[in-house]
C-alpha cells in the first residue's frame, strides 16, 4: 500500500486545519452535552459526559466511512443535459446546501444576538444515566452532520479526516471547560469558522457541478484568515495592556478589585465575559463599589455645593427678615454671615438648636447657637474629607482656596451621596432630575452634574489627577476656553455637549447627543 501521501505537506495542513475547525464547530455540541449531563446525579455527571462523547467518536468515524463510500460512487446515475450526475455529486450537492444553510442560520442568530444556550435546568428529578448517554449520542449524531461533511470536503484521504475527528473529540473531552470559556471570550473565532463553512459549502456545490477547486486554495484562504485573526487578538491584547498601564496605580487597583468581584467594566473587561459575571451584582451595587474604590481620587470640588448655592442667614438684617429666612428655607443648616457676606463667615447654625432655644425660653439667640465649620482646602479628596469629618465634631464644612476665599460647602450627606447616589429631599424631588433621557436617545443633564457620575454611562475617559474641571459645565468651558452662551456646544469623545439653559453666567442644563461615527 502506498503511504507517500503522508509526506505531502498538504495532508498535514489539511489535518491541522480540519482539527481546528472540528474543535470550534463542536463547541455548540459540547454546551448542549453539558446541559444534558447535568440532568443526572452530580456524582455521575462527568462520567456521563465522557462516556457519551467517547461513544460519539465511534459514531462519527462510522458516519465518515459511510460518507467516504458514497463519495466513491462516481458512476453516473442520470443526466441533466450534458451534466452527468453520480452519487458523489448528489451527496456533495446536499452537503453544500446543508453547510450553507447551517452557517447562514448560525450567523443570523449570532448577529441578532440570540442566546441559543439559554436553557434553564429546572428538573428536580435526576434522569437515568444511560438515558442521558443515549440522548448525548443522538444529539451528537445530529450535530456531527456538518462536521462530517466538512471533514470529507477538506481532505483527500478519509484516514486523515478520521484522525482529525478523533483527536478533536479527545481535545473536547479533556478540555471542555477551557474551550467553552475561550470561545465565549473570543466570539470572532466562531464567526470566522462559520465563514469557513460558507466557503466550504460553496466549494462542495462547485464540485457537485464538476467545477474542481484545488484544496490548496481553501487552505490558503483559511490560513490567511486565521493569521489576520491572530493579529487582531494580539492587537486587542496589547491595546488593553497599554490602556491599563497608562492609567493611575490607584485606578488599576480599583479595576483589579472590581475584576475579582466579577464587575470590571474598564477596557480590560471588554475582552469578553462581563455579561455572565454581571448577573451576580445589581447595578446599584456595582455603582457603589466603584464609587468607594475611587473616593481617594474624587476631588472635593466635584462633591461640594457651589458658593452661589450656599443657604445663608444674614444677621445684619432685621429680626423679621431673619425669621422669614429661617421659615422659608428648606435646609436644616445655614451659613451665618454679616455685612461682609460669605467671604467672612461667622459660622453656621442648626435650625434644631434654634428650635430648642425657642421652646425653652421663647427666644432665639443666633450668637449662642453658632458652630464653627470644618475648613477644607480645595485640594482635599472625598476620602480625606470623610476622615476629617470623623476627627471633627462638625457636620458642616467650607471649602476654601489658597487665599482663604470660600468656594463652596459640603456636608456628610453630600459625601454619602457621592457613594450611594442621590437622596433627594421632598423639595428637591419637585425639581428637574439631574439626568433625563429623551425620546431621541439624547440626555439632558444638570450643568453641575459631576463628570465622574456621567463617565461610566457615556464610556468617557477618566480624568487625570491634574484635571481642570469636575462638572459637565466645567468640561464645556474647558473645551471652549470661554463661558458659553445658550446654543454653544463642545464635542468631546464622540458626544456633543450643548448648552440649552443658563441663569446669569451659570450653565443650568446641557443636552448630550451621540455624534455619528465617521
Q: What is the percent of the chain where pLDDT is above 70? A: 69
What is residue 303's predicted lDDT score, i.e. its pLDDT? 84
Look at residue 266 in the predicted model and tell me its pLDDT.
Answer: 43
Helices then strands, each counted (H, E), the chain = 20, 14
In the prediction, which pLDDT does 278 show? Answer: 42
**What is the model's pLDDT at position 500?**
92
Q: Do 300-423 and 434-514 fold alike per CATH? A: no
Q: What is the pLDDT of residue 410?
A: 92
Domain boundaries, the chain: 4-117+124-213, 300-423, 434-514
Q: Is the pLDDT of residue 175 over 70?
A: no
Give dist(CA 330, CA 339) in Å, integer: 23
pLDDT digit string (tens) for 235-249? Answer: 888 887 777 676 666
Per cent of the chain over pLDDT 90 is: 7
Report the sign of the C-alpha dihedral through residues 235, 236, 239, 245, in that order. negative
Return the pLDDT at 111. Answer: 78
Q: What is the pLDDT of residue 496?
A: 92
Could you tell me the three cell numbers for 135?
Answer: 440522548
CATH 1.10.1240.10 fits 300-423, yes or no: no
Mean pLDDT of 207-229: 78
Digit-coded pLDDT (tens) for 108-121: 877 776 544 444 44
Distances (CA, A) of 22 to 281, 339, 413: 36, 84, 59
User: Parallel, antiparallel, or unpaired for β 443-446 and 506-514?
Assistant: antiparallel
Range with the lowest mean pLDDT among 104-118, 127-141, 183-197, 329-343? 104-118
Q: What is the DSSP letter of 224?
A: H
Pick the CATH number of 434-514 from 3.30.870.10, 3.30.565.10, 3.30.465.10, 3.40.50.150: 3.30.465.10
The pLDDT value given to residue 200: 73
How far is the C-alpha of 408 from the C-alpha of 400, rounded, in Å? 7
Strands 396-400 and 374-377: parallel
Amino acid at each position: 500500500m502506498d503511504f507517500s501521501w503522508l509526506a505531502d505537506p498538504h495532508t498535514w495542513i489539511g489535518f491541522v486545519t480540519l482539527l481546528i475547525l472540528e474543535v470550534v464547530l463542536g463547541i455548540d455540541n459540547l454546551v448542549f452535552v453539558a446541559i444534558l449531563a447535568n440532568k443526572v446525579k452530580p456524582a455521575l455527571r462527568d462520567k456521563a459526559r465522557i462516556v457519551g462523547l467517547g461513544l460519539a467518536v465511534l459514531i462519527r468515524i462510522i458516519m465518515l466511512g459511510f460518507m467516504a463510500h458514497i463519495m466513491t460512487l462516481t458512476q453516473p446515475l442520470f443526466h441533466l443535459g450534458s451534466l452527468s450526475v453520480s452519487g458523489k455529486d448528489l451527496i456533495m450537492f446536499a452537503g453544500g446546501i446543508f453547510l450553507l444553510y447551517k452557517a447562514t442560520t448560525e450567523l443570523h442568530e449570532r448577529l441578532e444576538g440570540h442566546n441559543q444556550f439559554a436553557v434553564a435546568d429546572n428538573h428536580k428529578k435526576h434522569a437515568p444515566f444511560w438515558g442521558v448517554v443515549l440522548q448525548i449520542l443522538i444529539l451528537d449524531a445530529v450535530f456531527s452532520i456538518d462536521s462530517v461533511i466538512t471533514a470529507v470536503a477538506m481532505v483527500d484521504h478519509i484516514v486523515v479526516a478520521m484522525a482529525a475527528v478523533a483527536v478533536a473529540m479527545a481535545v473536547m473531552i479533556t478540555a471542555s471547560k477551557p474551550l467553552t470559556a475561550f470561545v465565549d471570550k473570543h466570539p470572532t473565532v466562531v464567526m470566522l469558522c462559520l465563514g469557513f463553512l460558507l466557503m466550504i459549502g460553496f466549494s462542495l456545490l462547485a464540485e457537485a457541478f464538476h467545477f474542481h477547486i484545488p484544496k490548496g486554495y481553501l487552505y490558503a484562504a483559511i490560513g490567511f484568515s486565521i493569521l489576520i485573526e491572530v493579529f487582531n487578538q494580539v492587537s486587542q491584547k496589547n491595546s488593553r495592556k497599554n490602556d491599563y498601564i497608562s492609567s493611575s496605580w490607584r485606578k488599576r487597583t480599583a479595576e483589579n478589585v472590581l475584576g475579582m468581584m466579577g464587575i470590571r467594566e474598564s477596557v480590560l473587561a471588554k475582552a469578553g465575559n462581563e455579561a455572565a459575571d454581571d448577573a451576580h451584582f445589581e447595578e446599584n451595587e456595582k455603582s457603589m463599589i466603584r464609587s468607594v474604590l475611587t473616593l481617594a481620587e474624587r476631588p472635593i470640588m466635584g462633591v461640594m455645593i457651589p458658593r452661589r448655592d450656599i443657604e445663608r442667614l444674614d444677621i445684619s438684617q432685621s429680626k423679621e427678615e431673619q425669621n422669614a429666612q429661617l421659615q422659608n428655607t428648606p435646609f436644616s443648616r445655614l451659613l451665618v454671615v454679616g455685612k461682609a457676606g460669605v467671604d467672612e463667615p461667622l459660622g453656621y447654625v442648626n435650625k434644631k438648636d434654634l428650635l430648642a432655644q425657642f421652646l425653652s425660653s421663647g427666644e432665639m439667640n443666633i450668637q449662642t447657637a453658632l458652630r464653627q465649620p470644618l475648613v477644607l482646602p480645595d485640594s482635599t479628596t472625598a476620602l480625606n474629607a470623610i476622615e476629617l469629618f470623623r476627627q471633627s465634631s462638625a457636620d458642616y464644612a467650607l471649602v476654601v482656596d489658597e487665599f482663604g476665599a470660600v468656594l463652596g460647602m459640603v456636608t456628610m450627606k453630600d459625601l454619602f451621596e457621592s457613594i450611594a447616589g442621590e437622596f433627594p429631599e421632598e423639595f428637591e424631588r419637585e425639581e428637574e432630575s439631574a439626568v433625563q433621557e429623551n425620546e431621541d436617545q439624547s440626555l439632558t443633564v444638570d450643568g453641575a452634574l459631576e463628570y465622574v457620575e456621567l463617565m461610566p454611562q457615556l464610556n468617557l475617559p477618566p480624568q487625570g489627577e491634574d484635571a481642570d474641571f469636575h462638572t459637565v459645565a466645567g468640561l464645556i468651558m474647558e473645551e471652549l476656553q470661554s463661558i458659553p452662551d445658550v446654543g454653544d456646544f463642545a464635542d468631546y469623545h464622540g458626544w456633543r455637549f450643548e448648552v440649552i439653559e443658563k441663569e446669569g453666567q451659570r450653565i443650568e442644563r446641557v443636552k448630550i447627543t451621540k455624534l455619528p461615527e465617521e
